[in-house]
């Protein structure tokens, strides 16, 4: 194992901002942030639809606002084929609904409340994610 590209300070600060969003949403609106839940509920349920819509709008405009105020470029690299991305998208969509949460819902909101269910979910998707990357690197 080699450690590369490690950026602990921006990671911690960005994480703290994510935590702040989770706290505000909880204290003011009484809800937990889980992106898969918010987005799938926006698509399939009338409950809190406008709130969910506004949250999603905020999430989508955020990188643009960041770029505008810091004039820093945001570089992302997605180096997979459309086929692989489609398979991954389907797995993430179906899996997060069956499992009741994703990195944010289980990994942050759930683990922050010390929910055993969320801790087990997070360990599960981390292990399977690590194994998937390992298998992909071998084939």
Footprint on residues 110-129 left by other proteins (CB under 8 A): 110-117, 120-122, 124-129
Name which of residues 32 to 61 contact other proteins (CB under 8 A): 32-37, 39-41, 43-45, 48, 50-52, 54-61
How far is CA 39 from each of CA 1, 44, 114, 134, 137, rounded to the nearest angstrom? 36, 9, 24, 30, 31
User: Of 39, 42, 51, 61, nearest to 105 (Cα)?
Assistant: 39
Name which of residues 63 to 82 contact other proteins (CB under 8 A): 63-66, 74-80, 82
- Out of 68, 71, 136, 139, point to the residue binding other proteins (CB under 8 A): 136
- Out of 46, 68, 71, 95, point to the residue binding other proteins (CB under 8 A): 95
Instruction: Please give the angle made by the CA atoms of 81, 85 and 89, to the nearest 5 degrees.
Output: 170
């Amino acid at each position: 194992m080699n450690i590369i590209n490690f950026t602990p300070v921006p990671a911690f600060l960005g994480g703290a901002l994510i935590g702040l969003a989770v706290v505000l949403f909880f204290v003011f609106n009484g809800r937990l942030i889980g992106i898969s839940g918010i987005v799938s509920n926006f698509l399939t349920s009338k409950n809190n639809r406008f709130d969910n819509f506004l949250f999603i709008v905020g999430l989508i405009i955020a990188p643009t606002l960041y770029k505008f105020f810091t004039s820093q470029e945001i570089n992302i690299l997605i180096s997979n084929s459309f086929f692989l991305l489609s398979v991954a998208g389907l797995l993430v969509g179906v899996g997060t609904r069956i499992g009741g949460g994703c990195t944010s819902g289980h990994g942050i909101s759930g683990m922050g409340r010390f929910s055993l269910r969320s801790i087990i979910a997070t360990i599960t998707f981390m292990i399977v994610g690590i194994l998937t990357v390992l298998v992909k690197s071998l084939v």
